[in-house]
Amino acid sequence: MTAHAGESVAVTGPSGSGKSTLLSCLAGLYRPRAGTVRVCGTDTGALRPAKAAAWRLGTLGFIYQFGELLPELSALENTALPLLIAGRGRREAYGTAGRLLRELGVGAVADSPAGVLSGGERQRVAVARALSTRPPVILADEPTGALDERATDDVCALLFALPVQYGCTLVVVTHNPVVAFCADRQLALRDRRLHETTDSTPAGA
Residue pair 123/78 in contact by the 8 Å Cβ criterion? no
Identify the band that residue 181 occupies on the pLDDT scale cut at 50, 70 and 90: very high
> Cβ of 36: how many Cβ atoms within 10 Å?
9
Into how many domains does the chain fold? 1
Position 201 in a domain: no
* pLDDT value at 128 more than 50: yes
Strands (E), 16-126: 38-39, 42-43, 60-63
pLDDT for position 201: 52
pLDDT of 200 over the 80 cut: no
What is the pLDDT at residue 205? Answer: 38
At residue 73, does pLDDT exceed 60? yes
Please state the pTM of the whole predicted model.
0.90
What is the pLDDT, as a whole number, of residue 142? 92
User: Other CB atoms closer than 10 Å to residue 85's CB: what's the count?
Assistant: 12
Helix (H, G, I), strand (E, B) or coil at 86: coil
In a domain, 205, yes or no: no
Q: β-pairing, 185-190 with 193-196?
A: antiparallel
Question: Looking at the domain assignment, is residue 125 inside a domain?
Answer: yes
CATH of the domain at 104: 3.40.50.300
> Which domain, by its residues, includes 16?
8-196
Angle at 172 between CA 6 and CA 82, to 5 degrees: 80
Q: Is the pLDDT of residue 61 over 50?
A: yes
203, pLDDT greater than 70: no
Residue 85 lies in a domain: yes
Q: Examine residue 73 and state whether it is found in any structural domain, yes or no.
A: yes
Measure the CA–CA gap between 190 and 35, rounded to whole angstroms: 18
Q: Summarize pLDDT for 3-56 with one digit per residue, the tens.
A: 999 999 999 988 888 898 999 999 999 888 888 999 999 999 888 888 999 999
Distances (CA, A) of 88 to 69, 83, 94, 96: 20, 5, 10, 10
- Does the residue 139 lie in any domain? yes
Task: Look at residue 59 and tell me if it is in a domain.
Answer: yes
> In this structure, is residue 24 part of a structural domain?
yes
- Residue-averaged pLDDT of the chain: 91
Best CA proximity match to 60, nearest among 134, 155, 163, 159: 134
* Strand stretches in the chain, DSSP E: 8-12, 38-39, 42-43, 60-63, 137-141, 169-173, 185-190, 193-196
